[in-house]
Amino acid sequence: MRLFGGSDERLFMMMGGAKVEVMDMESEKKTIIEWFWCFQLSNDDLTMIQRRYGGSDNFLVVSWSDRKEGWIDCYNSSQKILLVGEGDFSFSACLARAFGTAKNMVATWYLDEDCLVINHQTSLSHLEELGRLGCVLMYQIDVHKMHTHPILKGMKFDIIIFNFPHAGHICYLREHDTELIQKHKELVGAYFRNASKMLSEGGEVHIRHRDDSPYDRWDIVSLAVEAGLKLKEKVRFSESEYPGYIQRRGGGIKTDDTFPIGSPFTFKFALDYTRR
């Protein structure tokens, strides 16, 4: 078994353990195979991986975690993270669990607290977990004016996340109707304008979104550019990377239902200093 070296390895971390990614040398297919409850892989761990894969030399360990921070996908526990437009807070709770702490997280909901519990019973356990891990929980946070909120206006964030924004369901409108698309665009534009004022240096604004029709008609990259942001990266979003996260429809009709996310992407934006 050979180890991949270099300073640009992708590092993975979850629940205080390490996530190991191996690559089949023939097919070049990469697979994440194991969580290890240790901070650094020992030779014994590597032997164990090799045994599990038939003692084959065909598997190459391409990355593993050796960091003390909690990591999940592209996020880590030392980043100051703001989550807006949460559903039942299962995404926030997933991050907090992976980090082992939520002391750098602010997780928010659009409407008031009573409304949350009525709409999403499952939020109760997530809120309890988030509270225990030190997360700041806030209600009635509207992306249209969040940067002027009395508490949030004094804060800067390394990462701001809005997963699957949606302006709400209207019984006579379908997703391909221009009137509804305009509402979605108005919501996402407001999110970008506000978030861009709340970033720390080098910070990023993230959004998870489908990019097939009719969702591509939202043209979120142009909305971000109008808000002074530029696209830094667009990567496939895999929900299996976020154990426990369940997307909730929100928006007034069948609010607690989940919904098809298709093959979505994570869009990552940063401030475009050339336009400031």
Ligand X SMILES: C[S@@+](CC[C@H](N)C(=O)[O-])C[C@H]1O[C@@H](n2cnc3c(N)ncnc32)[C@H](O)[C@@H]1O
Query: Hey, what's the torsion of the CAs at 122, 128, 133, 138, to 10 degrees?
Result: 80
Binding residues for ligand X restricted to 47-86, rule: CB under 6 A: 84-86
Residue with token string 């861009």: 196
Residue 34, both tokens = 């194991």
Q: Residue from 247, 266, 268, 269 that binds ligand X (CB under 6 A)?
A: 247
Which residue lies nearer to ligand X by CB, 48 or 115? Answer: 115
Which residue lies nearer to ligand X by CB, 18 or 130? Answer: 130
- DSSP annotation of 3: B
Stretch that binds ligand X, among 11-19, 35-43, 126-134, 242-250 (CB under 6 A): 242-250
Q: How far apart are CA 167 and CA 181, in angstroms?
A: 9
x/- binding map, residues 159-188, to ligand X, per CB under 6 A? ----xxxxx-------------------x-
Which residue lies nearer to ligand X by CB, 100 or 251? Answer: 251
Stretch that binds ligand X, among 29-37, 130-138, 158-166, 213-221 (CB under 6 A): 158-166
Q: How far apart are CA 252 and CA 109, in angstroms?
A: 14
Which residue lies nearer to ligand X by CB, 19 or 209? Answer: 209
Binding residues for ligand X restricted to 81-120, rule: CB under 6 A: 84-87, 91, 110
198 close to 106: Cβ distance less than 8 angstroms: no
220 close to 271: Cβ distance less than 8 angstroms: no
With binding defined as CB under 6 A, does residue 206 bind ligand X?
no
Which residue lies nearer to ligand X by CB, 19 or 248? Answer: 248
Stretch that binds ligand X, among 40-48, 74-82, 221-229, 245-253 (CB under 6 A): 245-253
For 51, residues 6+ apart whose C-beta sits below 8 A from its C-beta are none
x/- binding map, residues 249-268, to ligand X, per CB under 6 A? xxx-----------------
Taking the CA of residue 9 as centre, how many other CA atoms within 13 Å lie in the half-sphere pointing to its CB? 19
Q: E strands of the chain, at which residues?
A: 13-14, 17-24, 30-36, 59-63, 71-72, 75-76, 81-84, 105-108, 136-138, 157-163, 199-209, 229-236, 265-271
With binding defined as CB under 6 A, does residue 242 bind ligand X?
no
Q: For binding to ligand X (CB under 6 A), which residues are involved?
A: 84-87, 91, 110, 142-144, 163-167, 187, 247-251
